């Protein structure tokens, strides 16, 4: 059986579209990822609006006190309708974000093809 590398660094880029269900990055099976940076560049000469979300694939059970449970197939917005000035860029993630196995990052712009998202990701094998 082949084993996964312990740590792998990736850069993922995507032109944002108006389809908010499109996944920009999904953490593979057997891997937990850390998004180190998420930056959006506005490629146009007018202000553009972007949104970024985390998508939880699996159900999270509550802790012993009954807190922290979350159903699977749940999208949580991190930013919604954030304006990026013309010809500028914005960091759209305030810190590091854990993306568990099969969870994903979704992003969109109000106008397709106007903004580009760059993610810096560290993937770590679940060993």
pLDDT tens per residue, range 87-101 = 999 999 989 999 999
Distance CA 44, CA 83 (A): 13
pTM to 2 decimal places = 0.86
Structural domain spans, the chain: 7-61+70-125
pLDDT of 75 over the 70 cut: yes
How far is the C-alpha of 11 from the C-alpha of 24, rounded, in Å?
Answer: 11
| Residue 42 structure tokens | 């506005």
CATH code that applies to domain 7-61+70-125: 2.60.120.340
pLDDT at position 72: 87
Q: With a cut of 90, say whether residue 20 has pLDDT above it.
A: no
Tokens of 61: 């059970």
Judged against a pLDDT cut of 70, whether residue 21 lies above it is answered with no
Confidence of residue 19 (pLDDT cuts 50, 70, 90): low
What integer is the mean pLDDT of 69-87?
92
pLDDT tens, 27-48?
999 999 999 999 999 999 999 9
- Cα(6)–Cα(12) distance, rounded to whole angstroms? 19
* 99 CA to centre of own chain: 8
């Amino acid at each position: 059986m082949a084993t996964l590398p312990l740590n792998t660094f990736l850069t993922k880029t995507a032109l944002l579209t108006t389809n908010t269900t499109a996944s920009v990055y999904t953490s593979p099976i057997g891997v937990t990822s850390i998004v180190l940076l998420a930056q959006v560049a506005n490629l146009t000469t007018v202000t553009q609006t972007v949104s970024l979300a985390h998508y939880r694939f699996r159900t999270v059970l509550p802790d012993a006190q009954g807190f922290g449970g979350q159903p699977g197939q749940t999208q949580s917005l991190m930013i919604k309708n954030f304006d990026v000035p013309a010809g500028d860029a914005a960091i759209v993630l305030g810190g590091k974000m854990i993306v568990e196995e099969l969870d994903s990052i979704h992003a969109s712009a109000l106008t397709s093809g106007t903004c580009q998202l760059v993610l810096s990701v560290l993937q770590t094998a679940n060993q």
